[in-house]
């Protein structure tokens, strides 16, 4: 096999377990790379094997600490480009800064666009990501963006549970379309939490729009950050007679006291993906982590073979 026909997968330090699983599923050895920090916090990167003429994929979600992991990604891509890799694909299972996708008040940056510009400065050939907070972020890039969804993996798991009288609940009006789309996959109804957010990272649930009495409710969101919104949503659902409440999200940001808030909400189950590594220190009751490795592996192979990736978008 020539270099042109072979894949190399490298991982930053953000989510090595996911990268290792992707390599295992893809049947590709993990690329040798040395990443370290100097005493002043500067990141040092060295690629430990020949990448000339290779098709290279860099797996690095820009999760906490977002700035460190973003800098790692940029330096890894620069090292690969200078080492004459034929093609470099940035694989960001979680795209940090995605919530800052527009101007919500005067004199603020559109940070999601700034991050896109920073990534493109290193001239990657394409970006592969999952469940962007806002679809328009794809338009911030001038390179191709392959946007995968966690929904097929989650739907397969939920359908295996054979839940009756299932209602998919959006924790806010903005996620209603996501909840409606997922409901079609699992034969579930739709409800929406009406909330008011007095300030950043704080939410106040007002009421539930839809019939949830005696129903099995599944709260669906793209990420869980502080856990406040989804915890209050669970409380509102139970006060309205929900039979059970399951929490589902793609990205386990889990900032601060989020695990405690999820535990206090007493969910029947918390279902998350492994786009962000969940450390042992963040223990969540009734936690189920679904792997996205097979989906990313299929996408990587399709991109490498220059085939259509459309089948993975739905």
Residues identified as active-site? 195
CA distance linking residue 296 with residue 57, whole number of Å: 11
Provide DSSP, 132-152: -SSGGGGGG-SS-EEEE-SHH
CA distance linking residue 126 with residue 181, whole number of Å: 27
Give backbone dihedrals phi and psi of 209, rounded to 5 degrees, phi first: -100, 110
Residues 6+ apart with CB under 8 A from 94: 61, 62, 63, 129, 130, 223, 251, 253, 275, 276
Provide DSSP, 75-104: HHHHHHHHTT-SEEEEEESS-TTTT--S-S
CA distance linking residue 304 with residue 298, whole number of Å: 10
Helix (H, G, I), strand (E, B) or coil at 313: coil
């Amino acid at each position: 096999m020539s270099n042109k026909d072979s894949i190399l997968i490298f991982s930053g330090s953000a989510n090595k377990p996911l990268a290792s699983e992707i390599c295992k599923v893809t049947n590709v050895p993990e690329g040798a790379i040395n990443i370290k920090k100097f005493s002043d916090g500067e990141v040092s990167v060295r690629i430990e094997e020949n990448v000339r003429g290779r098709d290279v994929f860099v797996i690095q979600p820009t999760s906490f600490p977002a700035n460190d992991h973003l800098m790692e990604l940029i330096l890894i891509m620069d090292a690969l480009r200078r080492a004459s890799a034929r093609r470099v694909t940035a694989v960001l299972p979680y795209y940090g800064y995605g919530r800052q996708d527009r101007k919500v008040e005067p004199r603020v940056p559109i940070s999601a666009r700034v991050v896109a510009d920073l990534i493109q400065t290193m001239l990657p050939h394409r970006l592969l990501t999952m469940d962007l907070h806002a679809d328009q972020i794809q338009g911030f890039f001038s390179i191709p963006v392959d946007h995968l969804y966690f929904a097929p993996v989650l739907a397969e798991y939920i359908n295996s549970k054979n839940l009756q009288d299932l209602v998919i609940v959006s924790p806010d009006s903005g996620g209603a379309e996501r909840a409606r789309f997922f409901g079609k996959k699992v034969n579930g109804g739709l409800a929406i939490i009406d909330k008011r957010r007095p300030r950043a990272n704080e939410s106040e649930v007002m009421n539930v729009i839809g019939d949830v009495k005696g129903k099995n409710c599944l709260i669906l969101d793209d990420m869980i950050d502080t856990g406040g919104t989804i915890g209050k949503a669970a409380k509102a659902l139970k006060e309205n007679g929900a039979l059970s409440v399951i929490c589902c999200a793609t990205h386990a940001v889990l900032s601060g006291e989020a695990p405690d808030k999820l535990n206090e909400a007493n969910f029947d189950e918390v279902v998350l993906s492994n786009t962000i590594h969940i450390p042992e220190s963040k223990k969540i009751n009734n936690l189920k982590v679904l792997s996205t490795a097979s989906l990313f592996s299929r996408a990587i192979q399709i991109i490498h073979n220059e085939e259509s990736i459309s089948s993975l978008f739905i």
